[in-house]
C-alpha cells in the first residue's frame, strides 16, 4: 500500500518526490553516522542541514542526471551502453558530488572558514574519490542495468545514505585529528 502511494507520487510529481526521498534518506544517514561516531546527543541542526542537502541538491541532481543520461543514450541497450553510462557518471558526477558534499559539509554544516575547508578538501579529496571509485561503479552498474528510470534516484539515494555515513565519519575523524590554533 505505501509502495503504491509512493509510486503514484513518483509518477505525478517526480522531482518533488525524489527530492523529499533524498532529503529523508540523507537525514536518516546522518542520524546513523552520529550514533556510530559516538555523538552523545543527536545534533538536530546538523541532521537538518544534511537533510537539506539531500532535498535541495542530491535529489534534484540525480533526477536531472538520470534524465540526461537516458536522453544521451536514448535507444541504446546492452552491457556496452551500461559500461559507457557508468564511465560517464564516474568521471563527471562522482567527482563533482564528492567535492560538493565536502564543501557543503565544511562550510555549511560545520560553519568553518573557506580556507580551512579548502585545506581539508585538498587533504582528503583524493582519498574520498579513490574510495568512491572502488564502490560506486558497482552501484552505478546495478542502477543503469536493472533499475527503471523512475527508481534510479531512489536506489541511488538509498545507497548514498550508506555512503554518506562513510563521508560523515571521515569528516568527523578528520576534525578530531586537526590541530586547533591557540589564541
For the segment 64-77, the average pLDDT, to the nearest whole number, is 90
Residue 82 lies in a domain: yes
For residue 151, the 8-state DSSP code is G
Angle at 168 between CA 57 and CA 42, to 5 degrees: 95
Residue that the C-alpha cell 533524498 belongs to: 22
What is the share, in percent, of the chain residues with pLDDT greater than 90?
67
What is the share, in percent, of the chain residues with pLDDT greater than 70?
91
Q: Please give the pLDDT value at position 176.
A: 63
Q: Please give the pLDDT value at position 183.
A: 46
Alpha-carbon torsion, ordered 26, 31, 32, 36, to 10 deg: 140
Determine which of 8-12, 35-39, 54-58 has the lowest per-residue pLDDT on average. 35-39
Could you tell me which of 109, 136, 123 has the C-alpha nearest to residue 50?
A: 109
Name the residue range of residue 121's domain. Answer: 2-177
Residue 93 lies in a domain: yes
At residue 130, the 3 state secondary structure works out as helix
How many independent structural domains does the chain possess?
1
Give residue-wise pLDDT tens across range 140-173: 999 999 998 889 998 998 998 887 777 667 666 6
If one compares 176 and 144, the residue with the highest pLDDT of the two is: 144
Determine which of 50-54, 89-93, 127-131 has the lowest per-residue pLDDT on average. 127-131
Give residue-wise pLDDT tens across range 72-109: 998 888 999 999 999 999 999 999 999 999 999 999 99
Radius of gyration of the chain (CA): 17
Residue 153 lies in a domain: yes
Residue 8 lies in a domain: yes
CB atoms within 10 A of CB 181: 5
The overall average pLDDT reported for the chain is 89
Residue 182 lies in a domain: no
Residue 129 lies in a domain: yes
Residue 13 lies in a domain: yes
Amino acid at each position: 500500500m505505501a509502495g503504491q502511494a509512493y509510486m503514484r507520487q513518483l509518477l505525478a510529481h517526480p522531482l518533488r518526490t525524489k527530492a523529499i526521498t533524498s532529503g529523508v534518506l540523507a537525514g536518516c544517514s546522518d542520524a546513523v553516522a552520529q550514533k556510530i561516531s559516538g555523538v552523545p546527543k543527536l545534533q538536530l541542526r546538523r541532521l537538518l542541514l544534511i537533510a537539506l542537502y539531500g532535498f535541495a541538491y542530491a535529489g534534484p541532481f540525480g533526477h536531472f542526471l538520470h534524465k540526461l543520461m537516458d536522453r544521451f543514450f536514448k535507444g541504446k541497450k546492452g552491457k556496452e551502453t551500461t559500461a559507457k553510462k557508468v564511465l560517464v557518471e564516474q568521471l563527471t558526477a562522482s567527482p563533482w558530488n564528492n567535492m560538493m558534499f565536502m564543501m557543503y559539509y565544511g562550510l555549511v554544516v560545520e560553519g568553518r572558514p573557506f580556507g580551512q575547508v579548502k585545506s581539508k578538501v585538498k587533504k582528503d579529496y583524493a582519498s574520498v574519490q579513490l574510495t568512491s571509485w572502488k564502490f560506486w561503479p558497482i552501484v552505478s552498474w546495478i542502477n543503469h542495468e536493472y533499475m527503471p528510470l523512475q527508481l534510479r534516484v531512489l536506489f541511488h539515494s538509498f545507497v548514498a545514505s550508506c555512503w554518506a555515513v562513510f563521508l560523515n565519519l571521515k569528516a568527523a575523524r578528520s576534525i578530531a585529528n586537526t590541530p586547533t590554533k591557540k589564541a
